[in-house]
Structure 1
Amino acid sequence: MPAYTVREWDKLAYGEAEGQIAAHHADRLAGLAARSAFAGRAGRSGSGGSGVLEHGRHALRARGVVGILAAGDASLEILPKIDVAPGATPDHQNAAIRKRLVHMLAVALDLKIDLGVVTDLAWQRETLLEILIRIFCEKLTETLRKGMPRRYVGREEDLPTLRGQLDVNRQFTRHPVNPSRLACRFDLLSEDTPLNRILKAAVLHLFRLSRRGANQKRLRELAFVYADIADVPVPALRWDEVVIDRTNRSWRELFAMARLFLHDRYQTTTGGTGEGTAMLFEMNALFEEYVGRLIARAVAGTGYAVSLQGGRLFCLRAQDSERGLFQTRPDILIRRGGAVVHVIDTKWKRISARIDDPKQGVSQADVYQMMAYAQLYRAPRLTLLYPHHPGLGASDDVHARHRITGHGAILETASIDVGNGAGMLDRIRRLVLADEAMAGAAG
């Protein structure tokens, strides 16, 4: 199965040479991308466009969505544009990007994933999908060794002897003249639970997607373990009936990973005969959730409280009805003592160094948005946070500070290096808990 890889916003030319994609594969993959939920939808937070792929005359061009497209006998892996390992070979760079993307997914979904279980060679040779499948299989196999989770489920059966309680109404309507059969109602400790049905559906779904022999073998073995669990179509799975408590806490992460594969807000899955499958993630949403959760971890125990998408104040009130108009949703609000002290909006796009552009490529709309936040939330500090790249300097930091005209608030632009996992929490903590007096010096 031909497997192609392209970076976010880069092009993949048509052709048969190395680093090119066969035109008929490009047509099928572009058609699948056009049927995804992200197709034709305006990107969030300045993603710079819409859709998944540009189906050009001479090349496919990836947009602000990453992940895997598989159609027919070909697959396309779209990786985020993260600066890693300068000077390394493309294979080594792609391996490092896959590792950082899996880390971002783990943080955003609150998963504990040991990236060390995947060898360096596997990070280079396997696609993002196969790596995620491998991690899921190993985690599921390890957890199953401790036993499959069970819970009591209600059963109604007609038995020769009483078990549980007698269902009087059913007894006299179904067996009024046959006392040898008793209408029983009882609880049975069963493995056929909503959680196990979801995990089985994930195993079967991944078996259809995987093209790696080792992963297919793992999934086949897991499918055998779940043979006695009912087959339920993905749309009919009862996610709302799954209860994660102290008795099955070890299954929480596997449940979250199953949701990642089958039903997650960052991705869309498109299936059907002859269509293929897509597992896609909008980088704006993923970057926002990743940063927000890191900030919550970084400030834990400091007296600050973090909320994601938690403001929702209105810009206007209708004069006749006091109905709110133009609701705001700041990405990240940081409070202290109940008052908002910092508003952060994440933007998955590149800004320029000040030597190239005094505005750094920050859009006017973004500035107006932050001015509205300053007024509505009365926050003294506001930050537009971007992914770091080498053009901004050696390290991530606050790059510019400006005082909002007619207001005491400071608006700053900053970046965080998602390609460098070393000391990430410390860097986030230093950014968020920076001395507010220093922030008062406008750039």
Structure 2
Amino acid sequence: MTGIELVEHAPHTTHDLPAALGRALAASRIVDAAPDPYRPGGWRLRAGSKVGAVVVRTPGEEPLTLRITPKVPIARLFFLLGYALDPRIHREDAVEVAAHTELVPFLARTYERAQERALRQGVLQGYRHTEEASPVLRGRLRETDQVRRHHGRLFPLEIAYDEYTTDTPENRLLRAATERLLGLPRVPTGVRRALQHQRARLVEAEPLVRGAVLPRWRPSRLNLRYQPALRLAEAVLRGGSPEHLPGDVSVDGFLLDMNKLFEDFVCVALREALTAYGGHCTLQARGVHLDTGATIHMRPDLLRYANDGRPLTVADAKYKAQKPEGFPDADLYQMLAYCTALGLPEGHLIYARGGGLHASHRVRNAGIVIHQHALDLEGQPAQLLGAVRDLARLMAEGTGPESP
């Protein structure tokens, strides 16, 4: 199997690839791919914000394994992911991080540990409501459906019943995530054996059809021990790459979008930190419009409201600036639109960069101040959360330096 290693947001590199594989990568949009005009048979590849591993298969060609390494340490990436999924259940010590330098092995090991803890006390059971046609009466007869579908015939019977079973939404999710991980490249042998054993324990759970909507589950006291594994299972399944492309090309694997991951972490961490200042926060706020006719929709990443419903604070998270010399002007225009529509005197843009840079700009003829902050993802989790708390305090108190 051919393998290519790329680094997130690194410069283009040229690789010799069959034309079909190159076109498949270009169509998948997993990476930027284009023929190299100076090297026959060469393709220029550049990774963007998606990290992980995928296998690309085309008829008549050897499969290609593409691995994209994040710039942040793997341990830090999983801290961001775990905290964004649920700050209450995140555990920094869920897996030894020193031995892992790749995303997929780390993901598989972390998930296997979480699932082992979930299943340690046995497979969760619950009641599943079923409606079906049957030759025997079980539960209750659905009289209306019986008459409408069978026009007076006695059999089959349209029945409804509740069955106590292990075929629950929770177990379906765990089984599907386990099967997805078993299909990924570079899962360690020991982890693969453990996942196979755990899959055997979940054999009664109905397998999910790929591409279908994930089963919905509700956190409760009964599934408390399952919740860390369930959050990870959803991340595994939602991180699945496109499975089929035009023709007979297939792509399978696991990818994380660092843009989305950073946005989710920042918003969740800020929401937690801002609870100390009252009001409530909405993520990806709906019902915000730029115009009075409510035809131009806007979706701020985080919007904090007072108890009486007044907007207090608006923030947007941006993983990477688009120009090397500084933060992009388009982000400032977007935040200006948010502040103008919401009637706020200040807005906050949060970037993923090293150091403690904080710049502020007062808009002419408007008096609106737009703050630009940077979070250092290289720091330890405690330091990163401390920086978020400092940012929440600044946002709540409405203070900060201004540029001329």
On whether the aligned pair clears a TM of 0.5, the verdict is yes
- CA–CA distance in 2 between the matches of 1:35 and 1:351? 23
Partner Cα distance (2:290, 2:159) in 1:
60
Do residues 331 (structure 1) and 292 (structure 2) align?
no
Q: Is the 8 A contact 1:397 1:431 kept in 2?
A: no
CA distance in 1, matches of 2:213, 2:342: 41
SS across alignment from 1:341: strand
Pick one of 2, 17, 21 that aligns with 1:24.
17
Structure 1 CA distance for aligned equivalents of residues 383 and 402 of structure 2: 27
Write the letter of the residue equivalent to 2:350: L
How many correspondences in the alignment? 379
Secondary structure at 1:70 match in 2:
strand
Taking structure 1 as reference, are residues 436 and 152 closer, same or farther at Cα in structure 2, changes over 3 Å only?
closer
Choose the corresponding residue for 2:326, options 346, 353, 361. Answer: 361
Shift of 1:25: 8.0
Q: What is the distance in 2 between the residues matched to 1:413 and 1:184? A: 61
Distance apart, 1:301 and its partner CA? 2.7
* Cα deviation, residue 365, structure 1: 2.4
Please report how far the alpha carbon of residue 5 of structure 1 lies from its aligned counterpart in structure 2 after TM superposition: 3.4
Conservation of the 8 A alpha-carbon contact between 2:322 and 2:328: no
> What does residue range 8-407 of structure 1 map to in structure 2 within 5 Å?
8-11=8-11, 13-14=13-14, 23-24=16-17, 28=21, 30-36=22-28, 39=29, 52-57=31-36, 59-72=44-57, 73-82=63-72, 97-110=73-86, 112-124=89-101, 127-154=102-129, 173-174=153-154, 186-211=161-186, 212-236=188-212, 239-240=215-216, 242-263=217-238, 268-271=241-244, 275-310=250-285, 312-317=287-292, 323-337=293-307, 338-350=309-321, 361-389=326-354, 395-398=355-358, 400-407=359-366
Cα deviation for residue 295 of structure 1 reads: 0.4
Superposed CA offset, 1:267-289 (max 9, x none): 64425875231433333222211
1:18 corresponds in structure 2 to none
1:439 matched residue in structure 2: 400
Letter in 2 for 1:6: L
Question: Please, which moves more after superposition, 187-196 or 166-175?
Answer: 166-175
Partner secondary structure for residue 110 of structure 2: helix
Matching residue of 2:60:
none
Measured in 2, the distance between the counterparts of 1:185 and 1:436 equals 57
Q: Call closer, same or farther: CA 1:184–1:10 in 2, change over 3 Å.
A: closer
Could you list the per-position Cα deviations for residues 32-58 of structure 1 after superposition, in whole angstroms to 9, with x for gaps in the alignment? 44343xx3xxxxxxxxxxx62233525
The CA deviation at 1:293 is 0.6
What is the RMSD of the two structures over their aligned residues, measured on CA atoms?
3.4
Letter in 1 for 2:312: V
Q: What is the Cα deviation at residue 374 of structure 1? A: 2.1
TM-score under structure 2 length normalisation = 0.80
CA distance in 2, matches of 1:441, 1:12: 38
- Superposition deviation, residue 141 in structure 1: 1.6
SS at match of 2:99: helix
State the match for 2:378 in structure 1: 419
Q: Aligned in 2, Cα 1:69/1:55: closer, same or farther, shift over 3 Å?
A: farther
**How far apart, CA to CA, are the structure 2 residues paired with 1:364 and 1:344?**
16
C-alpha deviations, 1:221-268, integer Å up to 9, x for none?
A: 12221223333423456624x34322213223322222222235xx64
Unpaired runs of 5+ residues, structure 2, are 37-41, 58-62
Contact 2:349 2:373 in 1 (8 A): yes
TM-score, structure 1 length as denominator?
0.74
Distance 2:185 2:52 in 1: 14
1:121 and 1:425 map into 2 onto residues whose CA distance is 22
- 8 Å CA contact retained: 1:197, 1:237: no
TM-superposed CA distance for 1:132, in Å, is 0.8
